[in-house]
Amino acid sequence: MFGRRAIVAALVLLCGVAGAQAGSERRAHNFSPEGLAKVSDYIRNEIVAGTFPGAILLLQQHGKPVYYENFGVRDVATQISMSADTIFRLYSMSKPITTVMAMMLVEEGKLSLDDPVAKHIPAFAEMKVGVEKKAEDGKVSLELESLNRPVTIKDLMRHTAGIPYGYYGGSLVNKLYADAGLFDNKASTNAELVAKITALPLAEQPGTSWDYGHSTDVLGRIVEVISGKTLFAFEKERLLDPLGMTDTAYYVADPGKFPRIAEPMPNDRAISPMTQVKDPRKPLRWESGGGGLVGTIGDYARFSQMLLNGGTLDGRRYLKPETIALMATDHIGPETKVARDQNYYPGETSGFGLGFAVRTSVPPGTSWPTGEYRWDGVGGTFFFIDPEDDLFGIFMVQTPSQRGRVQLALKTLIYQAMGR
């Protein structure tokens, strides 16, 4: 018990409590010990079943950890126990960080949500939309149409720019993206990636469909253009270093930290049919704002607490409360007429804000809170922020193939433990 308390005490110092709203001033659901025991049992059972080698779960309410547990090992090959300094591939949990950087520039008047992307990346002005046409003989060809309106910064943040990832298959435009080598980490910089994207057609007209893809990578390039610095340099100056996120980076530069890297099971390394989990030990030129970061649970906890506090941590303001509120508001609701297809990852009870999914209705059979905002990574990590309960949760794990199933089961148990 002493060791457990020491870990919790350390996390209190690590995550910071300054600026957190006092629990006595908030109406919030509280956790039951019995419910949290079921959460622990679930994770342990998944490890025994061989789903993943280990994991970490943190639930922090009213500025203090109410649950923290390390499970299993970092890597079945080394059998080193999971611990708070373990480094995980964050993948798309990078997107909220990049969006925060862009919103800092918005607050400073250097960027506007309504700016055409072409204002900062002129090649976007020449982009076309790829439209499939079927001939009488049944053959499908791709024709290029002009944009009905420019792609905007807001389109990048809410994934309505028509820029896919390309690995979902199905359309000719997706195939073009898949064949373009956009995930070639060996050569690409953000500038080179954007040059490749602007040579391709968009998959849809801007603002018409939620299409998950490289939009946040383009946003990261715009941060570079405006700041005059690399994305990582700007992040370190304005967010990572001030917040104390010392282990968050695009790769692990110090060989002494290599044993701290978490790995999935040996047979669970496929991200897509074309790609495997990246090796964070290898230096990268591409600082992917959409999926490149690695980091620890403590680092992401400080970022999450800052968001939950309305943009402030330890007496320092990073964003205004109204900016956080804008980011956590649904920007693709019915009034926008933005289409959603089978790849709409937020799910039917959620919309999408600026960098996050936003829960807009209560899932059937639950009493989960609306207003929760969240996102996850293809490697298995996820986080959520629940303003109603003054709570955030972070689950760190590496399991690409089982991430969806595990996330749903774990979120269900967490909210059940709160009586929701």
More confident residue, 184 or 369: 369
Helix (H) or strand (E) holding 233: helix 231-235
pTM score: 0.93
Q: Give the gyration radius of the chain's Cα atoms.
A: 21
At residue 287, what are phi and psi to the nearest 5 degrees?
A: -95, 85
Mean pLDDT over 94-105 rounds to 98
Tell me the per-residue pLDDT of 312-352, one tens digit each, with 9 for 90 and over.
Answer: 999 999 999 999 999 999 999 999 999 997 789 999 999 99
Best CA proximity match to 297, nearest among 381, 359, 239: 381
Tell me the per-residue pLDDT of 111-136, one tens digit each, with 9 for 90 and over.
Answer: 999 999 999 999 999 999 999 998 88
The residues spanned by each domain of the chain are: 1-420
From the number of C-beta atoms within 10 Å of its C-beta (0-12, 13-18, 19+), residue 211 rates as: buried
Structure tokens at 324: 């956080």
From the number of C-beta atoms within 10 Å of its C-beta (0-12, 13-18, 19+), residue 240 rates as: buried
- DSSP of 344-356: -TT-TTEEE-SSS
Structure tokens at 227: 């700041």
Question: Are 75 and 262 in contact, with CB atoms under 8 Å apart?
Answer: yes
Residue 137 confidence (pLDDT) above 90: no
CA distance 38 to 108: 46
Tell me the per-residue pLDDT of 241-281, one tens digit each, with 9 for 90 and over.
Answer: 999 999 999 999 999 999 999 999 999 999 887 789 999 99
From the number of C-beta atoms within 10 Å of its C-beta (0-12, 13-18, 19+), residue 388 rates as: middle
Assign domain 1-420 to a CATH class: alpha beta
What percentage of residues in the chain have a pLDDT greater than 90? 84
- What letter does residue 255 receive in the DSSP assignment? G
At residue 337, what are phi and psi to the nearest 5 degrees?
A: 60, 25
